Amino acid sequence: ELTKKQTVYGFLIIILISLLCHLPYFSIDLQGHHAWRITQTGWNIRNFVRYDFNIFHPRVSHFNSQFEENLYLFEFPLMQWLIAGVQRITGESIWILRGCMFIISTWGIMGMLRLATFTFRRTIWSLLTTFAFAFGPVYYYYMINPLPDVFALASGIWFIYFALEYYVNNKRLSIFTAAICLAITVLSKLPYIIFTIIPIYYFFTEQLQAKKVLTKQILAAAILL
């Protein structure tokens, strides 16, 4: 079994390797197989920075025939708005944009480490799981590309961790944290609501075992969601 210090060092090595691999591409403009989606997200960020910082006004580079303005309500643009907030302070730069995405992605990898450690305890398997996730082709490629999917997945991983922490260890505060993470996930990318299968499973399991209704917990999570 690994010590806490060894686990932290292992995580830092994974992030450092990933950073060194991604660094040569930080200065390259937005491009790739999903260029249409990446650049659309980039336009949201740019227009938040230059014109309208209202989070309810995600704007693109063309006028939508459905509206009088160039608003495009594709999803709730929380990630775009947060990155734009950073760029309003630091100035616009592809380095800043990709750097913010790398930080968000690292947050997701950290969540995977916590989840894997929760599952395997502090063993080499938790680090191997984290390494496999960090260098899985799809996640690795999109780590520095502005896609809300990355933000939603990162938040979703933390939701799974806090949900399991609540149901397994009965940590009351975790149900609120889990609900907030799930709300962020679903706001950013609606299909990720599939993650709710985890609390639904545990709810019905506890219902069958304990024969009681978890009214307060359900209500608290539902309100936050």
pTM of the model: 0.87
Decide: helix, strand or coil at residue 59: strand
Average pLDDT value for the chain: 87
Q: What is the mean pLDDT of residues 139-168?
A: 92
Binned at pLDDT 50, 70 and 90, residue 4 comes out as confident
User: Which residue, among 36, 21, 6, has the nearest Cα to 141 in the 3D structure?
Assistant: 21
Which tokens sit at 21?
């691999």
Binned at pLDDT 50, 70 and 90, residue 45 comes out as very high
Binned at pLDDT 50, 70 and 90, residue 67 comes out as low
Q: How far apart are CA 100 and CA 3, in angstroms?
A: 30
First to last CA, the chain: 37
pLDDT (0 to 100) of residue 79: 94
Q: Is the pLDDT at 225 greater than 90, yes or no?
A: no
Q: What is the mean pLDDT of residues 3-20?
A: 93
Residue % of the chain over a pLDDT of 70: 90
Asked whether the beta carbons of 195 and 151 are under 8 A apart, the reply is: no
Which tokens sit at 130?
């984290």
Tens digit of each residue's pLDDT (9 = 90 or more) over 157-183: 999 999 888 888 877 788 889 889 999
Helix (H) and strand (E) counts in the chain = 10, 0
